Amino acid sequence: MDILISGLLLGGTYALIAMGLTLQYGVARIMNLANGEVLVMGALASFLVYTSLAVSPLVTVLVIAPLAFALSWLVYRVLLLPLVRRAKNQGQLEVDSILATFGMGFFLVGVMVFIYPELFAYSYLAVPVDLAGTTVAANRLVAFAGAVVIGLALYVWLNRSRAGMAVRAVAVSPLAAGLVGINVERISALAFAIGGMITAMGGVLISTFITLDPSFGVIFTMKALIIVIMGGVGDIRGAIVAALILGIVETAVATLIDPGLTLAAAYTIFLLVLLFRPEGLFGRRPA
Amino acid sequence: MTAIALRPLLVSGSLLVLAAFVPVIADGYWLSIAVTVLMYAALSTSWALFSGPTHYIALSTGAFFGVGGYLVGLGMSDYDQSFWAMAALAPFVATALAALIGWATLRLSGVYFVIFTLGLAEMIRNLISWVQNNFLGSRGLYVLTDLDERHIYWMLLAITAAVFCFGWWLGRSRLGFALRILGNDEEVARHVGINTARTKIVMFMTTGFVAALVGAVVAPRYYYIEPNVVFSPELSFIVVIMALLGGTRRLYGPLLGVIPFTLLWEVISVSFPNATTMVLGLTFLLIVYGIPNGITGLLSGLAAWRRA
């Protein structure tokens, strides 16, 4: 029971990161390997604001969100759109976007090292809460609640609004979406920006209970990628379910066997998915 | 053999002879840079042989390099094996590992492969640290040989030359032909009866072999090895940058990236150690936006423009 609850709480925060990435890769077709760095940026901003101005991360997140949205949108417009236009096929875009976002990721790490080169952590809502017999820290609960709210909002927006429908259409087929009058470039930019926004918000929430360092981004990127592939590319439901599974498995391995083996556990799941269900849990097999 | 085919052979042959004399004239500092250059030359060139035509970005160089170095350390420290036995064994272990990874990931789309190799060095490092902490007692391994930097240099030179010979052969072989068709269009390659998965896996295995061999040969440079030293994720990225900077379309392309980047890296890590990641990032961006075909692509573009 302990494992299940802590695992679910961890999985909830993973879901945030993975939702951002699945929008960026599934809709905008950009394999964003700087995703983890965006998360750490959000966390760092939250840390700096909290330690210097004593502003609650729950307030910071409201400022970070539009900021991250705007910056991600700019990055897509200025840096990534030329690559999309230049690419002759999907493979070319994949290679270019991987290299470009690696570059951006390293650049962001460089910037963060310049700003704050050490580990950072702060204490926010670190009070124990009793939850069905398990003691958990309140900050983890808050982060999980935040993940649920953001996930629900995203789900409703995708399924109930016109723009959400356009986003889903582009995810299925950019070509067909263009034929029915959807501005694919604009929708892609929108999806990329929302993805960046969700990731940065995830960073703010995570910073309340995890110690981070400017170079930790790549670990989050990897986990997000594993989740996205596991859930089926471009599928929000899949991302959430896969994130919860990963959270539970990691917690189980860490508590039952050894904390040093969590990465190996994540890799094992990834390998099993690749071998038995490469299209992901919710993905469709390509016809 | 015609004169045209003979010329590059003569040029590379005399370059090789010249390179063999470097330890005679170079002193400690420059020799150590020359060793680094050769290490990256072998790694980048073998990386480009696989990733150049296939466009599969392998980020596993650091993992295989680490396997090579770590096995040498483990064998010498814990099992009293000679350096030579371990250096001979390590590449085969890495090749088997590459076969396994390639089999699981290379049959699928390119993204799976990139992601899997991205964290591979990190995962192997975690696993080894875990095994060491729990079963072997946590401590590092000593690599004490009577090899000095000159010997390492010559061994690396031989490996680099072998990689170039392999690349030269590949350009003329059925395997290389299959690889080029596959790189242009995987669908087409499958339709003309090329076993695309096998071709990719075989090539990936050769890069694993070379990286582990280089890791094993370079191990005496460290004297003391622990997982955190040899499994550096940075190495994988540097190798990719160097190959792409030089250009992967020609066999000597990566070499043109290795030399300037090694010197640049040397200057930056000495003078501005905090700026290394940023330089890595900016170089990635420069390659994608400025010189997508690398220095060799730039040069051949320039030559075509002058002729026109």
- The shortest CB-CB distance from A263 to any of B122, B275, B278 is to B122
Q: How far is A58 from chain B (nearest CA, A)?
A: 31
Cβ <8 Å between B130 and A258: yes
pLDDT higher for B105 or A42? A42
pLDDT in tens, B195-214: 778 888 888 899 999 999 99
- The shortest CB-CB distance from A100 to any of B123, B279, B288 is to B288
pLDDT higher than 80, residue B276:
yes
Q: How far is A59 from chain B (nearest CA, A)?
A: 31
What secondary structure, in 3-state letters, does chain B show? CCHHHHHHHHHHHHHHHHHHCHHHHCCHHHHHHHHHHHHHHHHHHHHHHHHHHHCCCCCCHHHHHHHHHHHHHHHHHHCCCCHHHHHHHHHHHHHHHHHHHHHHHCCCCHHHHHHHHHCHHHHHHHHHHHHHHHHHCCCCEECCCCCCHHHHHHHHHHHHHHHHHHHHHHHHCHHHHHHHHHHHCHHHHHHCCCCHHHHHHHHHHHHHHHHHHHHHHHHHHCCEECHHHHCCHHHHHHHHHHHHHHCCCCCCHHHHHHHHHHHHHHHHHHHCHHHHHHHHHHHHHHHHHCCCCHHHHHHHHHHHHHHC
Q: How far is B149 from chain A (nearest CA, A)?
A: 32
Chain A residues inside the 8 Å CB shell of B283:
103
Note the pTM of the prediction, 2 decimals: 0.85
pLDDT in tens, A207-249: 888 888 888 888 888 888 888 888 877 778 888 888 888 888 8
Residue A161 to residue A165: CA distance in whole angstroms: 6
Tokens standing for residue B257: 């990236």
Residues of B with CB under 8 A from a CB of A: 55, 57, 104-105, 108, 110-112, 114-116, 118-119, 122-123, 126-127, 129-130, 133-134, 233, 237, 244, 274-275, 277-285, 287-289, 292
Cβ <8 Å between B285 and A278: no
pLDDT higher than 60, residue B1:
no
Q: How far is B84 from chain A (nearest CA, A)?
A: 31
ipTM of the complex: 0.81
Confidence of residue B223 (pLDDT cuts 50, 70, 90): confident
CB pairs under 8 A between A and B: 117
Confidence of residue B3 (pLDDT cuts 50, 70, 90): low
Confidence of residue B5 (pLDDT cuts 50, 70, 90): low
pLDDT higher than 70, residue B90:
yes
pLDDT in tens, A7-55: 888 888 888 888 888 888 888 888 888 888 999 998 888 888 888 887 7
Percent pLDDT > 90 in chain A is: 9
pLDDT higher than 70, residue B2:
no
Mean pLDDT across A125-151: 78
pLDDT in tens, B116-135: 888 888 888 888 888 877 77
pLDDT in tens, B129-177: 888 777 776 567 777 777 787 888 888 888 888 888 888 888 888 888 8
Cβ <8 Å between A106 and B274: no
pLDDT higher than 80, residue A252:
yes
| Average pLDDT score over chain A | 84
Mean pLDDT across A94-113: 88
Percent pLDDT > 70 in chain B is: 96
Cβ <8 Å between A31 and B57: no
Confidence of residue A69 (pLDDT cuts 50, 70, 90): very high
